[in-house]
Structure formats: structure tokens, C-alpha cells
Amino acid sequence: MRIESDIKLDFKDVLIRPKRSTLRSRSEVALERNFKFMHGNHTWRGIPIIAANMDHTGTFNMAKTLAEHKLLTAIDKFAEPEEWQKQKKDVIQHSFASAGSSSEDLTKLKAIMKKVNCPFICLDIANGYSEHFADHVKRIRDAFPEKIIMAGNVVTGEMTEQLLLSGADIIKVGIGPGSVCTTRVKTGVGYPQLSAIIECADAAHGLKGHVCADGGCTVPGDVVKAFAAGADFAMLGGMFAGHKECSGDVIEIDGEKYKRFYGMSSAEAMHRHHGEVAEYRSSEGKSVNAPYRGPVSETILDILGGLRSACTYVGANELKYLSKCTTFIRVTQQLNEIYTPLQVSKMHDR
């Protein structure tokens, strides 16, 4: 046994120091970025925020609205090839086709790609450290040499490098920070998300790879901190939950409206997709009722407004320069508990 005593930080442990800036208005800030990738030969221009590939948020309705704002959606892996075929080209160009690591997942991915030319693939398993996952990434790269492959999840530099060298373009970073994730309490495993992003981004950028910060953002300021820490993309579940574009019906409890939002390893998800929770594993996710928030456009504008404003505070005229312009200061306050965050904190466990 070893103990590492370096301090590892979460979003709530830091703030961003304002700096002298020549920018006069938020409208001078460009959030769109041009991307070229390490392996896949598609290029992409847009705002690098992704709705999570969860049943609730990874829907084609979400993708339609997010694509209008030039954001991306990771469609959940249960979407059938026929559903993909019904989507407009612009929606497909702003979507990830998701898959796990089984051979059925690969077969389905091939069937989807036969029907549509989707540029992005999202490969994720809860534990990106398992040896067979790197081999799986290699197999997917061989099968789809042109595609932009995102793979994860990991939280350390050495595994970021291994997955990039196995053929991934973007590494998904985050173990345990998710709003409906219970990995940290069930297993004791995890890594504070801000430090994970900083360390993985450093490793990835050295190889010309990219990272996607996945999980733990509860307010627009957290999304800012994720990009400021070096993330190239940010994936959001809870912040996009409870909207009209999410799956599930609106339910009413004591006069308040909600939509059901559950972790993809929760008992609810396992019952839905596999009929049961296998005996050898415990669920590592929970279910909540997310307050119903209507169309997602307003939430998008709130997040983008926060990002533009942060860029003006530190003098970054483009999102891609935010990290270079950032100095974090450590704080002792639990920021998100003081500044009543968006809806995630108001979710009721049921």
C-alpha cells in the first residue's frame, strides 16, 4: 500500500483569478473551435460541449436542439440503426454513436455506420483501466480508420497515453464525479475531477490528443473551470437533465413537475436494459427526479454566456485560449453550496 500526498482538487476547490483584458464585450469572444484529431481524419468546427450518452440526455431530440447551437450529443448506445437513418444530416454530423466493449456493440456500431456517415464514436466503459479495453479501442480503430474516436473513462496521464496510442482521438476523463454516480461511495475509487482533467490534458496534449471532461459540472462556472483546466471538450449529464428534449415523461409530485433521471449503472438502468442487476455486481448509480425545466435552449445560452463572460475576465478572445489565460486560486469555501447551483442540487433522491 502507498499513500500519495499531493493535493488533488475538485471544481469547488478553486476560482479563476481575473486578469487585465483588452476585450470590451462578451460578444468579442469566439466559443467555436476548429479541431483536427490525432488519428481520425475528419475535422470538426463547433462548440465543444457534449450531452452525455445516457438514456435521458443522449436522445435525438437533444441532438436536434444542440446541433442548432453547434454543440454535440452522444446518442445512447441503445438507439437502433433504423432510428439513426431517420435523422437529418446536420444532426448526424453533431452526434456520437456510442458503444460499450462487447462484440454485439461492435456489430451494432457497424450497422449504424453502414446506414449513416456519423463522424464520431464514443466508446465507454465504467473502468477504462481494464486491459481488454485498450485492445477493444485498437479493434475499433482498425474497423473505422477515419472516424473520431472518444474513449474512456480514465483519470490519470499514463492511461490517457495508452488509450491515445491504441487509437483513440479524445480521452474521456472522470471516474466518480457524476451527478447520479455512486462509484465513490460504493467502491472508494475516484479522483478529484479538476486535477484529473489537468493531468490527463497534459498527457494528451503532449501527443496531440484531446480530452473530454466528463462528469461533475453542476453550474456554468464548473464548465468554465473544466475548459480552463485544459479540457478540449466537456460532457454534461445532470446540467442537461429534466428538459423537454430528454427522454421520459413529465411526472407531477406535490404540484411540482419532474423527469426521471438515472445513472447508466443504476439498478433502474440495469432493470430496463438487462432485466436485472447481476448478482456479482452492485449498482454504481442512482435515480433522481430532475425538476422539469422546459426546452434546453435557455440552459445552453446560460452555459455559453458563462463561458463568454469568463473569457472576458481573463482576456481570452477564443475558448481555445482560456486555459492558457487561466490562473486558478485555491479557495476554502464550498462554492457550489453557497451559490445555489442549477437544478442538480435540487434533485430529490427517490
What is the nearest approach in angstroms of ligand 5GP to the Cβ of residue 74? Answer: 8
Given the complex with ligand 5GP, which of 264 and 310 has the nearer CB atom? Answer: 264
Please report, as ranges, the residues that interact with ligand 5GP according to CB under 6 A.
52, 54, 126, 153, 174, 178-181, 183, 214-217, 235-238, 263-266, 284-285
Minimal distance in Å, beta carbon 126 to ligand 5GP? 6
Please indicate whether residue 218 is annotated as part of the active site. Answer: no
- Identify whether 183 is a catalytic site residue: yes
Sign, CA torsion 320/98/61/55: negative
| Least distance (Å) between residue 228 CB and ligand 5GP | 17
Residue 139 amino acid letter: R
The residue annotated as part of the active site, out of 118, 181, 212, 217, is: 181
Instruction: Quickly list H helices, 116-156.
Output: 131-143
Of the pair 220, 312, the CB lying nearest ligand 5GP is at 220
Catalytic-labelled residue, pool 57, 59, 183, 326: 183
For residues 216 and 221, which CB has a smaller minimum distance to ligand 5GP in the complex? Answer: 216
Between 219 and 325, name the residue whose CB sits nearer to ligand 5GP: 219
d(CA 181, CA 175) in angstroms, rounded, equals 9
Among residues 230, 180, 210, 221, which one has the least CA distance to residue 303? 221
Q: Write out the H or E segment, with its range, that includes residue 170.
A: strand 170-173
Q: Are 171 and 164 in contact (CB under 8 A)?
A: yes
Least distance to ligand 5GP from the beta carbon of 312, Å? 25
Tell me the residue nearest to ligand 5GP as measured from the CB.
285
Give the span between the Cα atoms of 289 and 272, in whole angstroms.
17
Residue number with CB closer to ligand 5GP (181 or 203): 181
Distance of CA 42 to the CA centre of its chain: 20
- Least separation in angstroms between residue 347's CB and ligand 5GP is 10
Backbone Cα Rg of the chain: 19
- Please give the C-alpha separations between residue 233 and each of 60, 84, 140, 142, 197, in angstroms, as whole numbers: 20, 23, 21, 24, 11
DSSP per-residue codes, 8-19: ---GGGEEE---
Q: Give the active site residues.
A: 181, 183
